[in-house]
Amino acid sequence: EEEKTLAMIKPDGVLGNYTERIKMVIVESGFSIIRETITQLDEHRASNFYVEHSSKSFFSGLIKYMTSGPVLVMILKKENAVADWRTLIGPTDAQKAKITHPHSIRAMCGLDSEKNCVHGSDSLESAQREISFFFGEISSGDAVGEH
């Protein structure tokens, strides 16, 4: 079944000029990029996006990181998109990814467990919430191949 997921290139990825390389991997892996937007998160929006982590010790560092520059947000579509995008980005800790998942996107451009270059929704429910967060409600029939 076709699914949509939210992919984000974080500030280190955008500022490090990884955008085109990452989009190449996305398309070569069979995803369609159906929407994309570049935006700068402020503290309020970043905290809201990551509200489930608000009690974690790394939260304030995470918000500082996520507001340090622009992010590129995309809706990816494909069969099994949620799980497949998570597999493609690799484990949260980019340092570990370089060892255990050397072909993953985080191994390519991430730095550590915080500055890990990309984000992916962790479930279908998160994907729906995160897509609405950035793009508003998207109808299920939204055009394939639309940019």
Q: Which residues are catalytic?
A: 119
Q: Which of 58, 99, 103, 132 binds ligand CMP (CB under 6 A)?
A: 58
Q: In the complex, what is the shortest distance from the CB of residue 49 to ligand CMP, in angstroms, rounded to a whole number? A: 9
Q: Which amino acid is at 136?
A: G
* 128 strand-pairing partners: none
Residue 23 CB neighbours (<10 A): 17
**Residue 109 in contact with residue 13, Cβ under 8 Å?**
yes
Q: In the complex, what is the shortest distance from the CB of residue 63 to ligand CMP, in angstroms, rounded to a whole number? A: 10
Q: In the complex, what is the shortest distance from the CB of residue 81 to ligand CMP, in angstroms, rounded to a whole number? A: 16
Order across the sheet with 2-9: list the strands: 32-40, 70-79, 2-9, 118-120
Q: Is 106 in the site for ligand CMP (CB under 6 A)?
A: no
**Residue 71 in contact with residue 9, Cβ under 8 Å?**
yes
Which region among 11-19, 23-31, 113-121, 137-145 touches ligand CMP (by CB under 6 A)? 113-121
Q: Is 92 in the site for ligand CMP (CB under 6 A)?
A: yes
Report whether 17 belongs to an annotated binding site. no
Q: Is 87 in the site for ligand CMP (CB under 6 A)?
A: no
Residue 147 burial (10 A CB sphere; 0-12, 13-18, 19+):
exposed
The footprint of ligand CMP (CB under 6 A) covers 53, 58, 61-62, 92, 113-114, 116, 119
Numbered residues of the known binding site for ATP: 10, 58, 86, 92, 106, 116
